[in-house]
Amino acid sequence: MRYTNLMFLLVVLFAVSLSAQVVDGVNANETAVTSGAANDIVCHSGATTVGPCDTGDFFWNAGLLTLDQAAHGIAFGTDPADAGVIRLSNATAIQWEADPAGTDLSFSVNASEQFAFNNGNDLVTIGGGTDTLFVEDTEVTTGKTLLVIQEGDGQVTTETLLEFRNDSGTPMTGFKDRGRRFEVVGSGNQFILRLSGGGGSVAGFVIDSVSDFTRTTTNQNHILVNSDYKPTSGTGTFHTFRLTPEINQTGGASGIVRVIYVEPAVIAAADFRAIEVADVGATHFALKTGTGEVSFGDKVSAVPGGNIPVCPKYTVAAAALTTASATEDEVLFNLPANGVLMGVRVKHSLAFSGGSSSAMTVSIGDSSSTTLYTVAFNVFQAAGAEVMQFTDMFKAKTSLARDLLARFTVTDDTMDNVTAGSVDIHVCWVVLP
């Protein structure tokens, strides 16, 4: 078979580099090649000219290198001839010398018939075996990155950095928009994350931030879940976030079990809210259980159709009284529709005084009557542990929502001259179903 001049030059250089022999004066058991007629490669064994090289004619070191003219290839080692221009026998490696001094790096096929990059241990294996692609870091090095996928210069923002496909080639999951978005596509649209349990792990799944959040305006979210539910018919049930743990503490276990546990480290907070539910409307529930519901800021239900009363405290100090009049109304809160008062306690911690005032009282009512719920109580007298007013009731003037008022009345002066005093007003109320 005829070879090109380039192949001829390659073989000649290779033979010369290995044997460092010349054709003239070839000794016994030595091998050399020359260019014969029409640029054929001529094989020489010792002083004998074999002629144009044929299958298996040219050997180096007992079969380590074979030039096989019939198969049109180069075989290293004694592996049976297979298809391919260059063939290596089993367990044969291509190796690079480390520079500077260090562990050499080799490229080979291991016993599992995987391509392996190796420096004493398999660092990367590809194909065959139980792992199609396996990457391992055998050195403990701080800051080392095991696998990097880097976008090229000038790529569009919608490029996909990594994508997983099914056996039909259809994308299933991938890191889209330069890796900023993880997308689950295809049939089912389901992404499952399985974590090992047992007794060794303190936290099964951790979401942490590399650095502190510091935005000074608009919203900033650590975790944001956007999920729209828009069925056109049917009775399907939708959950944006669903927790389904199985709790079984048989056998003497007695620890606390929490499905949701909020444990913030509040160093300084202007307006901290561990859990807040936006207004969902009067016909919806902000929180509902199997036996009742809770709508924050509106009502607390223990059982369907029955409500638990709340008793918030409202404090009014002398600084809040500023009118140049002998009376002043302070709005305590807005009682919702169907709200009913069940009791009021009035107790001052500091007697009111100031100017030429000689007496001062407070009563609880609404716009229809400032003494609808309590009569006037003397807050001018000295405060004490037993100085207070209790008023029991189950009372409402109307089923409509209305403001509850505290009416202050001062004698012999006006409110803007009152300089001291503080009173706590506890109002117990309930919203009827």
Q: Which of 390, 397, 296, 406 is nearest to 352 (CA)?
A: 406
The confidence score (pLDDT) of residue 163 equals: 78
172: number of Cβ within 10 Å: 17
- Give the pLDDT band of residue 251 (cuts 50, 70, 90): confident
| Sheet strand arrangement including 58-60 | 58-60, 65-68, 73-76, 86-88
Long-range contacts of 184-187 (CB under 8 A, 24+ apart): none
Beta strand 86-88 with 93-96 is unpaired
Specify the range with the lowest mean pLDDT, choosing from 136-150, 253-267, 370-384.
Answer: 136-150
Place of tokens 């010398």: 97
In 278-417, which ranges are E strands? 287-288, 293-295, 299-303, 306-307, 313-317, 327-335, 339-353, 359-365, 377-378, 389-395, 402-411
Contact 415, 353 (CB under 8 A): no
Residue pair 50/42 in contact (Cβ under 8 Å)? The answer is: yes
Q: Classify burial at 143, counting beta carbons within 10 Å of its beta carbon; exposed 0-12, middle 13-18, buried 19 or more.
A: exposed
Q: In the chain, what percentage of residues exceed pLDDT 70?
A: 60
Digit-coded pLDDT (tens) for 365-385: 999 999 999 999 999 999 999
Residue type, 204: G
> What does the block give as tokens for 154?
């000038």
Q: What share of the chain is helix, strand, coil (3-state, %, to 5)?
A: 5, 35, 60
Q: Say how many C-beta atoms besides its own lie within 10 A of residue 40's C-beta.
A: 17
Q: Helix, strand or coil for residue 346?
A: strand
CA 159 to chain centre: 22
Residue bearing the bigger pLDDT, 395 or 155: 395
Among 376, 357, 360, 372, residue whose Cα is nearest residue 409: 360
End-to-end CA gap in the chain: 101
Report the run of H or E that residue 13 belongs to, with start and end: helix 5-19
Task: Give the pLDDT band (50/70/90) at residue 404.
Answer: very high
How much is the mean pLDDT over the chain?
75
Check residue 131 and give its pLDDT.
67
Architecture of domain 313-431: Sandwich (2.60)
Cα 71 to the chain's mean position, in Å?
57
Task: Look at residue 142 and tell me whether its pLDDT is greater than 60.
Answer: yes
Q: How many Cα atoms within 13 Å fall on the side-chain side of residue 27?
A: 3
Residues of the chain with CATH 2.60.120: 313-431
Identify the residue with better confidence: 63 or 105: 105
pLDDT band at 219 (very low <50, low <70, confident <90, very high): confident
- Token pair listed for 27: 């000794």
